[in-house]
Amino acid sequence: MTKLSVNINKIATLRNSRGGNNPDVVKAAIDCQTFGADGITVHPRPDERHIRYADVREISKIITTEFNIEGNPKEDKFVQLVLEVKPHQVTLVPDDPGQLTSNHGWDTIKEREYLQGIIKVFKTAGIRVSIFVDPIESIVAAAPETGADRIELYTEDYAKNYTRNKEAAIASYLKAAAIADQKGLGLNAGHDLDMDNLRFFKQSIPTLSEVSIGHALISDALYYGLENVIQLYKRALTI
């Protein structure tokens, strides 16, 4: 079964817009677990514009499902946080410090040596490592040489083109998934997946281990309610 990890960054964005602790990010993590989420994802950035480092520490104390921390390991503060908290999984994303949202994956060929070194740091601490990559055959094929356990396919391009031609939109992801399977890599996916495009993505790629969804899911929760939306997304992952 493909797991649904709920990214709660947007809840933290709403809290930060007014100060105080409403909505309560830690309670949101607890509620997502209670409502059926298979995991919680957070992506702290250096400016702490949404999830704060303190949030990560507090969430780590109450997590009963899988905890996934995303971020750029070239930030020393991020590395230290992950080693302190020891989540089930760390997803390495090559974000620039001021970047609004993730918009590209690692070049596993050019950055192989760097990735090998930092991945070893996390794996030595007993943390599963996933790396964010574009659905490019050569990039996916080189990913095992970094030592990563999984890759997370960056799905913005799929989401953007899904309504025009879903078969064409999924094509590069099918090739990437096949290579990952051949290489023995676990397969995650994330970015702009939603209730419209998620089911087809899962049906097309049955080897999918996990999806991380935040913006669309939290937006849908405004209309349908958080508990209902988590179940709707999980249903889309059931084939």
By annotation, the residues acting in catalysis are 43, 70, 191
> For the CA atoms of 89, 95, 96, 98, what is the dihedral angle to 10 degrees?
-90
Q: Which amino acid would we find at residue 26?
A: V
- Burial level of 20, CB count in 10 A (0-12/13-18/19+)? exposed
Q: Which residue has the tokens 């994802």?
A: 41
How many Å is the Cα radius of gyration of the chain? 17
Enumerate residues 6+ apart whose C-beta is below 8 A from 12: 25, 50, 51, 52, 55
CA 201 to centroid of chain Cα atoms:
15
104 Cβ neighbours under 8 A, 6+ residues apart = 94, 134, 154
Q: Is 126 exposed, middle or buried (0-12, 13-18, 19+ CB in 10 A)?
A: exposed
